[in-house]
Structure formats: structure tokens, C-alpha cells
Amino acid sequence: MLAVRCLVRLYEVPPEYGQISALDTYGSTIFAGTNRGLLLKLTVEGALSSVAARQARQPHYGSSDNATSNGRAYASASFNGAYTPLSASPEACEKINTTLVRFTLLSTLKMKIDRVQHSRTHTLLFVLYEHRLVVLNSVTFSCLQTIAEHVGTFFVSDSRQNSSQRAGLHVICASELNGKGLSVFEFDASQGEGARAILAQELVLPEPVHALVSYGSIACVGMRREYSLISLSDGSSCGVLPLGGGKQPLLAIGDGEVFMRYNCSIFSVSMRSMPSGRVLGRTIQLKDEPLSFVVRHPFIFVFTEHYCDVFSLYDNDVSGRLMLPGCLFTSQLGRGDFIYAASKTKIWMASLHSLRQQLANLVEHFKVEEAFHLLGSQRANGHPGLAGD
């Protein structure tokens, strides 16, 4: 199945900034944290997408610029890259320009930024550093609130899933550092500048949480011995895959489905409802151990030490291989026609074939049922490629 159209190296972090330790994107904007406590904001021009166009219409918070002097100073550094075609195409000559537009020293102790995650609907950036979870205005980098201290990791629900009555609600799951606690916060961005995160629930798990994602009212946690699904409504849990304690858990969220690493395999289970037992879905066998992976329906991108394999979720076959060594960081909840990934020093972007090309390719290979399923799922997700040329 057609996957990646072309690939471009967007940006290389200067040595004085340190190494990339966290990454997320929204539209054509990239947010990266480094192991020296810097938070970077980059914009990508030339990679046109209706997703990026919608970004300009999102609501803004905190109009005053309370960032540090570094944050207010716009950097002039930019990186020009040309697409490296994976197959011959006229579009492969497009030029991409990536510009560092804002940066600030977030950690005065120069400790690494552990995780960043941008809201899917608002100008909010959730950041974990110095074991402290904060929410920033993603335009100005001004701090809106410190949500919690002594946090191990966190995940913010996809706010696009909310009903119109709860349009601004962000459900935040945060694990206790070196402890067994899992806290659930609610941040209602519809309250504007006065919005504050409220502790909604506290749960106690069998072990400390090392990896965490959520979908709707269900969270999936990776612990030392197993992966478990947790109901955020009543706190009930269900173990779905044992780990054995040998490897760090890795998780990625897809279209109502969570993907879990087990050695050189990836397993999945539905997160649309709590299962009654260990009922696994897909199984993807790998040749090498993955460092990270990200789902962009209908594909899963699996990053290893030396390359990235792209698998089709319709047949679990390899759709292509990208020479992207050592990519540890990706944007988990992104949509659209681009995939962003980063190693410790470089940020990359893969441009996907259009939805129409994917559908045509499925039909050409007599996978009509799969084509209808892909079309239906992308319609449900409001894929921009369905709006017309």
C-alpha cells in the first residue's frame, strides 16, 4: 500500500542547545525540548496542508507576552531542505523552509525537558520538566499553571473527541514519580485565561507507570510487568499483555486502538471499551527492536536504531523503509499528510501520499473492502483530503 511520498530533513539542533529530549507538533508548528532545559518552537513553510490552515483559526489564550527575554527574541536561524524523493514524482522538487521562531530556557537548572504535548484544539502546550507538569500558552510560552509536582510521565486526551458541550475539556493523566499513583486532572480551556486544572480522580496501581496513553475514558499504562487498561470512570483495570520486566514498555495510540511493544513484536488492543480479558488484536512481527513507533491510520511507523519501517494496518506488511536512524521522538496525536520524527539531533518530516492515492492503490490491488473502511474512518476523523482539491 502506498505510504510515504518523500522525505525531508527539517532541522539540526545546534550543539549549544543540547540534544532533543521531547517533541510534539501541531499543524506546521514543531515544539521540541532539549536535555539542557530549552524549549524550541519551529515553523515549517512549504508543506501545505489544510490541517495547518486550520491552526490559524484556533482560540488563543493569554494575549500578554510574559515569556523570558530569550522567549521574546525571535531567532533568525533557519534550515532549508529539499525533498529526497523515495520515488520519482514532480512534487519531489518542493522546497521546505524550517525556521526557529521562539525559544526559552524553561529549566533554570538546565535539566532536560522530559515530555511536551500540544492541545489538538487550543493554543496550550503541556510540558514536563524537573518532574513538574505545567501548561503554557504555546504562542508566548507564558506559564498558565503548574498542574502537578513529582510527576513521572503524563498524557493529555485528544480534545477533538469531545462533544460540543465539552469542547474545551482536556483530560490529563499524570503518574506519580517513583510511586504507584495515577492522577486524573480536567482542564477546561473554554474558561479562557482563568482556566485551571482540577484534580478529578486519584488511582493506585499495582506498580509505577513507565508509559501512558489515553483514549476517551480509558487509559493504557505500561508497567514493569504488564500493560493494563484502566477505566478513568470507575478505576477498574484489566491486564492485556504481560511484559516480564525485561524491557521498558512502549505505547502508541491509534484510531481507538493502543499499540504495545513486546520485544521485537507489536501487539494491539481496542480502547473503545474495557475488555473482559486479554483479547489482543493485531500482531506485527519486527526484525529489530523498535526504539519508538507512531500510528497514522492506516499506517504504523516503527523506528529502530538504523531505519524506519512503515507497515500497513490492513495487511501488517511493510509498505516501505525510510533511512531514518535513531528516531526516538514523534508526534502521537497528529493528523494530516505529514509525519514528524526526531533523533537526538535532527528533526525529519515524511510526506504521505494523499488519501485519494491510497484509496486508488487499495482498489488496484482488489482490496475494495479495505478501501471503504479507510474512507469511512477518515471521514469520521474529518480528514482534510476529503474536502476536495
Q: Which range is least confidently modeled, 53-67, 122-136, 195-209, 263-277?
A: 53-67
Query: Rounded CA gap, 140 and 242, in Å?
Result: 43
Mean pLDDT to the nearest integer, 56-84: 40
Residue 61 reports pLDDT greater than 60 = no
Model pTM greater than 0.75? yes
What is the band of 52 on the pLDDT scale with cuts at 50, 70, 90? very low
Query: Rounded CA gap, 126 and 121, in Å?
Result: 13
Residue 220 reports pLDDT greater than 50 = yes
pLDDT on residue 53: 41
Residue 131 reports pLDDT greater than 70 = yes
| C-beta of residue 386 within 8 angstroms of C-beta of residue 374 | no
Mean pLDDT to the nearest integer, 345-357: 86
Query: Rounded CA gap, 294 and 305, in Å?
Result: 15
Mean pLDDT to the nearest integer, 8-13: 95
- The pLDDT > 70 percentage for the chain reads 81
SS3 content of the chain, % helix, strand, coil (to 5): 15, 45, 40
The model's pLDDT over 292-316, given as tens digits with 9 standing for 90+, comes to: 999 988 899 999 999 999 998 887 6
Domains and CATH numbers, the chain: 4-353 (2.130.10.10)
Query: CB within 8 A of 118, min separation 6: which ones?
Result: 24, 25, 26, 29, 31, 124, 125, 126, 138
- For residue 58, give the 3-state DSSP assignment: coil
